[in-house]
Amino acid sequence: MWWRSASFILDRQQHQNRTVAPSPESFLLSSPPPMADSPLNPKSNISAYYQTRAAHHAVVTSDWLAQAQAAVGRHSDDDGSLGDDKGAAPIGGGGGGGGEEEGSGKAFSVIDEFNSWRKQPALAEAVAAIRALAAVIRTSEATTMMELEIELKKASDSLKSWDTTSISLTAGCDLFMLYVTRTSALEYEDFNSAKSRLIERAEKFGEISCKARRIIAMLSQDFIFDGCTILVHGFSRVVLEVLKTAAENKKHFRVLCTEGRPDRTGLRFSNELAKLDVPVKLLIDSAVAYTMDEVDVVHFGADGVVESGGIINMMGTFQIALVAHSMNKPVYVAAESYKFARHYPLDQKDMSPARRPIDFGVPIPSKVEVETSARDYTPPQYLTLLFTDLGVLTPSVISDELIQLYL
């Protein structure tokens, strides 16, 4: 199946394009040498993500997606905010670091700008990277498009090397670079006009990313019915938005949360649901099979959606999906499109390891090896549907969507 993957098709197309005379726009998309001094996460043994925190078809019609997007637009107009980022600074204003650095004469740092955005708890890591890259364009002192493109690419590489295990961070940076620079108008404009166009496209991409959760929440409502019992695993902000929207729509349901050891993400998730007056029950992780007969649907978030249509998510997702599949329970995944990554894992070990600290509460002998992997891979055959801001998709359509995103 690998020869049908999105990466193989894209790589083959790029190889064929090398035989054609390069155009001015192709130089804009060329990759400079990687940065030798890219700042890395100082705690290399623990992933930075966990220090913070043949029939390919879509299930929904374009009309349904348009209605959801329109509903999100009305929601944004009513409360004056974009998606979940209430109280956030506008994209053009920076995260608090860029403007101060400009005024004080301090050199602009994309990592500092990224970290300033990450302080907002409702903002996803990938969206923080997108806003930091938009600030790179605004503060750039480049005088040609080639210089600006190289500067932007170096900033993107710097962010990706900050945490090489974060799938959404890498995918968000890659998609930002493609979206912002993918316009033939740049080669016909003077530099100032082209830079303004890049800033405009960067801000638009940021707005699209911010609205993703609300769109997903709107699309998923038809799959939550009165009286249903939903099993969730881990703390996913997009799944929380889905359930919050269902509660606001006066739907009656209850939620079973796994504990989510070792970082107790399920405990945090259950606390958030309790604030919404949603009936919630906390389970120990090993009680999933015991309680699966009470469950109507399973909802997951995702660290990343890969080319096969499977997902990479918090450790334990795969075994829960296996139990649900064996008992004929639908498994739904809510994930933003900026988490679509050009990865095709063949097994559980075929991905960059993400580590997290494990505390068992008792001393562990030095001769005992502890598994510290933080996530696993769930193959597409164990997933029913994926709720994304591109629509409600079957796992088989993901490869086609990836090709469209990365072309």
Query: 67 pLDDT band (50/70/90 cuts)?
Result: low
Question: Beta strands of 250-324 (E only): which ranges?
Answer: 253-258, 280-283, 297-300, 304-305, 311-314
User: pLDDT, tens digit, for every residue of 237-282?
Assistant: 899 999 999 999 999 999 999 998 887 888 899 999 999 999 999 9
- For 108-210, CATH gives 1.20.120.420
Give the model's pLDDT for residue 134. 87
**Is 72:218 a contact under the CB 8 Å cutoff?**
yes
> Pairing relation of β-strands 253-258 and 228-232?
parallel
Tens of pLDDT along 139-189?
888 888 788 888 888 998 888 888 877 888 888 888 888 877 766 555 556
Task: With a cut of 70, say whether residue 332 has pLDDT above it.
Answer: yes
What confidence category does residue 14 fall into, taking pLDDT thresholds of 50, 70 and 90?
low
Q: Tell me if 399 sits within 8 A of 309, measured CB to CB.
A: yes
Q: Is the pTM of this model over 0.95?
A: no
pLDDT of 401 above 70:
yes
For residue 349, name the pLDDT band (cuts at 50, 70, 90). confident
* Cα separation of the two ends of the chain: 20
pLDDT of residue 185: 53
Who wins on pLDDT, 117 or 35? 117
Starting at the edge strand found earlier in the chain, the sheet holding 375-378 runs 304-305, 311-314, 375-378
* Pairing between β-strand 311-314 and β-strand 297-300 as defined by DSSP bridges: unpaired
Closest CA to 352 of 13, 44, 26: 44
Beta pairing, strands 331-334 & 228-232: unpaired
CATH class in words for 214-354+371-404:
alpha beta
Domain ranges of the chain: 108-210, 214-354+371-404
pLDDT of residue 188: 54
